[in-house]
Amino acid sequence: MPVDILIGAQWGDEGKGRFTDLLAADMAIVGRYSGGDNAGHTVTIGTEIFKLHLIPSGIIHEGVVCLIGGGTVVNPAVLLREMAGLAERGISVSPDRLKLSRKAHLITPAHIALDKAKEAARGESAIGTTLRGIGPAYTDKAARVGLRAGLLADPEGLAEAIFAHVEAHNQTLTQIYGVDPLDPTAVAADFASYAQQLAPHLVDEAVLLHEALAQGQPILAEGAQGTLLDLDHGTYPFVTSSHPTAAGALVGLGIGPRHVGRVIGVAKVFTSRVGSGPFPCELTGETAVRLRGTGENPWDEYGTTTGRPRRVGWLDLVVLHHAVRVNSLTELVLTKLDVLSGLEEIPVCVAYEMDGQTTTYLPPDQAQLSRCRPVYETLPGWAEDVTQARALAELPANARRYIEFISETLQTPVSYVSVGPARNQVVTVRNDL
């Protein structure tokens, strides 16, 4: 049985969590491979809404083992809070179900303080990070001074490492950014307590995953963020500090490319982005409010992690084409079709116009991207409510036409389309992939 990879094909918040939950029903292991609690993945089951930040969205299925993989950065305080929240709601997060790779890197209060100080210092050109310490934790990892989760099993080593880590970052915080230092003794004491609680969850992910592969067990790699937030393939520098793309799953879980089966790209039927950076299809005014919603529905476009209103725009097929290419997607999953019901016409961006030239490739430099103007093709909308549809034939003809147009332009099959946030609000377009 191969490893399937599910990734975000846009700028995050595509609906990865709800499709991870759906596919997890047939999986033995679901593993997060990158990012940290900058992610916010929503799973809706009946009237219950679960917002997951670090714990894989497979956790709701009792039989699934969930792994927080080596490519992630983990704030242990947040992880413990998330575990307690799930346990309170009757979801088991015991060590036999929830595993933390010894290779994952720890996020500390020093990383969070640095994230805040750096964003404040950037002023107008701030990235708009989630202020969760993600960038500084990955910076330490790349600089080879990071703290790995394996330390949680070594109380003495952990105390010593935390002490040195906080003292070193205090110098930057006070001398470069002029903010208050942290108390290394207090941070070390907190981490000693986290270590006691999390040590039983530590695993060597290579043993877990490669034994599972040898036994033919199905594994799903759950992406966080999205392709356009990838450190290399996204809209640099307005990106996150990890690799949400499919290749990130291989590095982040320690699996070779020959094990990969499906590569599933999740995309919303329009586009959203939180934080700064170029966004050629961005809309403002009434149409933006129409797509974003006002915040009264739980699915309206407000950040799951930060509560910030998301920037919104029409569907951008240049972005999706880029995602198809860099992830070698085997299929697309489309979400939020219901949100487009009632629109007379739906513009779709099929190319960019830049300096008098038309292109269907995403320009690599943000200076170029900010000069791009969308070229739209307008498709007819549909008036009908689609939330009860479960089969393609139950969708209005123009909704089917919209899906076909996306699939044909991108030369990529669409396997599912969701028509509401609930687990069963899914239209299966193809189940032969």
First CA to last CA across the chain, in angstroms? Answer: 14
Return the residue of 93, 182, 229, 386 that touches ligand IMO, per CB under 6 A.
229
Q: List Cα–Cα distances, 8 to 26, 31, 74, 110, 387, in angstroms.
A: 20, 15, 20, 29, 23
CB of 253 to ligand GDP, least distance (A): 19
Region binding ligand IMO by CB under 6 A among candidate stretches 39-47, 58-66, 94-102, 154-162: 39-47
Q: Residue 224, Cα to own-chain centre: how many angstroms?
A: 2
Return the residue of 39, 83, 187, 324 that touches ligand IMO, per CB under 6 A.
39
Q: What is the per-residue binding string for ligand IMO in 123-162, x denoting contact by CB under 6 A?
A: ----xxxx-x-xx---------------------------
Return the residue of 42, 235, 240, 271 that touches ligand GDP, per CB under 6 A.
42
> 382-421: which residues touch ligand GDP (CB under 6 A)?
418-421
Q: Is 72 in the site for ligand IMO (CB under 6 A)?
A: no
Tokens representing 57 are 């969205």
> 287-306: which residues touch ligand GDP (CB under 6 A)?
298-299, 304
Q: Is 335 in the site for ligand GDP (CB under 6 A)?
A: yes
CB of 32 to ligand IMO, least distance (A): 9
**331-335/260-268 β-pairing:** parallel
Phi, psi of 6 (to 5 degrees): -115, 120
Is residue 41 part of the annotated active site? The answer reads: yes
CB of 357 to Mg ion, least distance (A): 34
Is residue 321 part of the annotated active site? The answer reads: no
Nearer to ligand GDP, 46 or 123 (CB): 46
Q: Closest by alpha carbon to 308, among 4, 13, 1, 7? A: 13
Q: Is 68 in the site for ligand IMO (CB under 6 A)?
A: no
**Residues in Cβ contact with 168 at an 8 Å cutoff, skipping those fewer than 6 apart:** 145
Q: Is 21 in the site for Mg ion (CB under 5 A)?
A: no
Question: What is the rounded CA–CA span in Å between residue 135 and residue 253?
Answer: 20
Q: List Cα–Cα distances, 358 to 1, 41, 361, in angstroms.
A: 43, 36, 9
What residue is closest to ligand IMO based on CB? 275
Question: What is the rounded CA–CA span in Å between residue 3 and residue 217?
Answer: 9
Tokens representing 363 are 């320009």
Q: Is 412 in the site for ligand IMO (CB under 6 A)?
A: no
Nearer to ligand GDP, 21 or 140 (CB): 21
Residue 293 binding result from ligand GDP, ligand IMO, Mg ion, none, given CB thresholds of 5 to 8 Å by partner type: none
CB of 236 to ligand IMO, least distance (A): 11
Tokens representing 220 are 């799903």
Question: What is the rounded CA–CA span in Å between residue 226 and residue 157?
Answer: 35
**Residues in Cβ contact with 143 at an 8 Å cutoff, skipping those fewer than 6 apart:** none
CB of 15 to ligand IMO, least distance (A): 9
Q: Is 248 in the site for ligand GDP (CB under 6 A)?
A: no
Q: By three-state DSSP, how is residue 349 classified?
A: strand
Residue with tokens 């941070």: 187
CB of 49 to ligand GDP, least distance (A): 7
> 317-327 vs 397-410: helix axis angle to the nearest 10?
50
Catalytic residue among 4, 21, 37, 41: 41
Q: Is 224 in the site for ligand IMO (CB under 6 A)?
A: yes
Region binding ligand GDP by CB under 6 A among candidate stretches 9-17, 156-164, 243-251, 354-362: 9-17
- Paired residues of 221 in beta bridges: 5, 31
Residue 56 binding result from ligand IMO, Mg ion, ligand GDP, none, given CB thresholds of 5 to 8 Å by partner type: none
- Paired residues of 41 in beta bridges: 52
Q: Is 41 in the site for ligand GDP (CB under 6 A)?
A: yes
Q: Is 86 in the site for ligand IMO (CB under 6 A)?
A: no
Phi, psi of 423 (to 5 degrees): -50, -40
Q: Where are the alpha helices (DSSP H) in 133-231?
A: 134-142, 155-171, 184-198, 205-214
Catalytic residue among 13, 37, 140, 338: 13
Q: Closest by alpha carbon to 106, among 187, 175, 12, 171? A: 187
Return the residue of 137, 202, 274, 320 that touches ligand IMO, per CB under 6 A.
274
Q: Is 18 in the site for ligand GDP (CB under 6 A)?
A: yes
- The half-sphere exposure of 201 on its side-chain side, counting CA atoms within 13 A, is 27
Which residues contribute to the site for ligand IMO (CB under 6 A)? 8, 11-13, 38-41, 127-130, 132, 134-135, 224-226, 229, 240-241, 274-275, 304
Active site residues: 13, 41
Which residues contribute to the site for ligand GDP (CB under 6 A)? 8, 12-18, 40-42, 44, 298-299, 304, 335-336, 338-339, 418-421
Which residues contribute to the site for Mg ion (CB under 5 A)? 13, 40, 304
